[in-house]
Structure 1
Amino acid sequence: MSAVREHTVPRPARRRPGRTPPPPAAGRACGDRGGPWPYLLVAPAVLGMLYLLLYPLARAVLISFQDFRLRELISGNARFVGFANYRTLLTDPRFWTVVRRTFLFMAVNVVLIMAIALLVALMTQRLGRVWRTAVLSSLVLAWAMPVVAATTVFQWLFHSEFGVVNWALTSLGFDSFERYPWFAHGTAAFAILVTLVVWQSVPFAAITLYSALTTVPAELHEAARIDGAGAVRVLRSVTLPMIRPIVTLVWCLEVIWTFKAFVQIWVMTKGGPGDATTILPVYAVQTALSSQRYDLGSAASMVTVVLMSGVLVLYFRQMFRQEGEL
């Protein structure tokens, strides 16, 4: 007799009526887990940011479309005048002189900041551990100095009677600099402010660029040197293309920083002598305070915001274009 093996097919389990299987955990919405609590926890910070940032901006926009002077500041009854303040501002020859000076001030500062910061970053990369730590520590300490304190130090350095700069130049034989009034000459005051802004901005840019340089693989530099490329060619063809996004970011931040350099100018020269150091933020404050034309001052501030927003738009377009190429 032959044994016959019977193969039984397992029957599917029957579902009990009235009971449905629970949905898988992966299909649940993320918002159902915490409910409204995450939004309630974030709400105070968001509301505070909106109040501190958007309310002053909206208020300045509103004032720029009103006839808002000292009487309106006290009484609160401001008359709506439309674009009359902007027409007055844009037809003022002094305003366009200030705009040209602002872009000149920005261009000189940004070029010097980026060039010096890149050189400092490259130098720091080639130093040993001890000297690299010393350089980075010095940059951090210079960066941490308050703006008003640094401006006051520069005022004393270039003081006509007690300044170290005049004393040093006179000791070296330049007798014409004895009691030289630096802040009474427009070009000299402009150069001092450029030196101050560059000195304050280089530490941040240098540390950021140095951090970007540490991400460039050393094998690329070695391969370029084997192919016969010099230091300048390696920098132009290998290093800079690798850190281009960080360079663009630092460039945009420095443009914004120098564009709104108000504290240094106001503490040191208040825009003088004459209008030699007056840029758009200083012009807006001068118009609002000295002439009590708060409407024109707000209009000048809005023009400054629009110009800075244009820089941000260019940066974001470049950033999105680089992301699309990856």
Structure 2
Amino acid sequence: MLYLLLYPLARAVVISFQDFRLRQLIVGDASFVGLRNYRELLGDARFWEVVRRTFLFMAVNVVLIMVLAMLVALMIERLGRFGRTVVLGSLVLVWAMPVIAATTVFQWLFHSRFGIVNEVLVSLGFSSYEGYAWLAHDKAAFAIIVTLIVWQSVPFAAITLYSALTTVPRELYESARIDGAGAGRLFRSVTFPLIRPLFMLVLSLEVIWTFKAFVQIWVMTKGGPGDATTILPVYAVQTALSNQRYDLSSAASMVTVLLMSGVLVFYFRQLFRQEGEHL
């Protein structure tokens, strides 16, 4: 575990303080340059634009995932045995699909010439979408990536939240209904307070997963068109592969880790504070 987890992290930290380019990768005579890479990185306007886009990307994905997952979990709870089995089985199949396979399917769905999305839209009378190149337009490409990641992430969150819903005592619902509580009040006063710890755990996991999303973006757009879908992990790989700036790429990765850690520390502090007030 030390070799597989801590050594790569420590090695990336060391490289971020070195002059480490293609020559150093081959020869191995990298020299330490202190904070030069971090100063260059933090002075790059494109880097801060990527940071802003990363947080926007994370926020949009996490909100959609948690809202849809909660709605799906509530729906499953109200279904009969057959319907519950069908929905849970479908969620497991989506969850089990390999990331590359799912990304390839989405590429074909939105293909400009052979995609079924364009064909359906044209058949409905939207002739302007004939041959429409979705991935060549920044907002469309961003929306497709978000749709793909939400589609892949909802099953895990929904199944986990459904398992939490099954632990809520039925007697509490019956008592609340006797007192005249409607569906919305039941959720706010009974359901959510009891499943809140697991809800927050799933939320934190989704923050981590969406913050470091890479495969879907790299396979589908490689961060394009322009920088429309470039977030921090993609930026780090672009810097390493396109410019052979492995030092700058490592520095970007370290900043990514620090930003994500900061978000999680702030989140857990708020969570523990609220839990303390509740206790």
TM-score (norm 2): 0.97
Q: Does 1:109 pair with 2:98?
A: no
How far residue 311 of structure 1 moved from its aligned partner, in angstroms, is 3.3
Aligned with residue 143 of structure 1, among 80, 95, 117: 95
Tell me how far apart the structure 2 counterparts of residues 314 and 280 of structure 1 sit (CA, whole Å): 20
Query: Residue in 1 aligned with 2:205?
Result: 253
Contact 1:252 1:311 in 2 (8 A): no
Contact 1:224 1:234 in 2 (8 A): yes
Larger radius of gyration, structure 1 or 2?
Answer: 1
Name the Cα RMSD after superposition.
1.3
Q: Which has the higher helix share?
A: 2
Give the 5 Å matches for 1:174-185. 174-185=126-137
Aligned residue type for 2:214: F
Query: Residue in 2 aligned with 1:119?
Result: 71
Give the 5 Å matches for 1:190-205. 190-205=142-157
Aligned with residue 59 of structure 1, among 11, 24, 28: 11
How far residue 224 of structure 1 moved from its aligned partner, in angstroms, is 1.1
Tell me how far apart the structure 1 counterparts of residues 191 and 184 of structure 2 sit (CA, whole Å): 10
Contact 1:154 1:196 in 2 (8 A): yes
Query: Residue in 1 aligned with 2:164?
Result: 212
User: SS at the partner of 1:234?
Assistant: helix
Aligned with residue 232 of structure 1, among 184, 204, 222: 184
How far residue 110 of structure 1 moved from its aligned partner, in angstroms, is 0.4
How far residue 280 of structure 1 moved from its aligned partner, in angstroms, is 0.2
Query: Residue in 1 aligned with 2:81?
Result: 129
User: SS at the partner of 1:290?
Assistant: helix
How far residue 229 of structure 1 moved from its aligned partner, in angstroms, is 1.1
Structure 2 gap ranges (5+): none
TM-score (norm 1): 0.83
User: SS at the partner of 1:170?
Assistant: helix
Tell me how far apart the structure 1 counterparts of residues 271 and 39 of structure 2 sit (CA, whole Å): 35
Query: Residue in 1 aligned with 2:34?
Result: 82
Contact 1:190 1:277 in 2 (8 A): yes
Aligned residue type for 1:269: T
How far residue 310 of structure 1 moved from its aligned partner, in angstroms, is 2.1
Query: Residue in 2 aligned with 1:4?
Result: none
Tell me how far apart the structure 1 counterparts of residues 134 and 272 of structure 2 sit (CA, whole Å): 46
Give the 5 Å matches for 1:1-326. 49-317=1-269, 320-321=272-273, 322=275
How far residue 92 of structure 1 moved from its aligned partner, in angstroms, is 0.4
User: SS at the partner of 2:243?
Assistant: coil
Structure 1 gap ranges (5+): 1-48
Identity in percent: 79
Superimposed CA distance per residue, residues 199-222 of structure 1 (whole angstroms, 9 cap, x where no aligned partner) = 000000000000000011111111
Q: Number of residue pairs matched? A: 278
How far residue 319 of structure 1 moved from its aligned partner, in angstroms, is 5.9
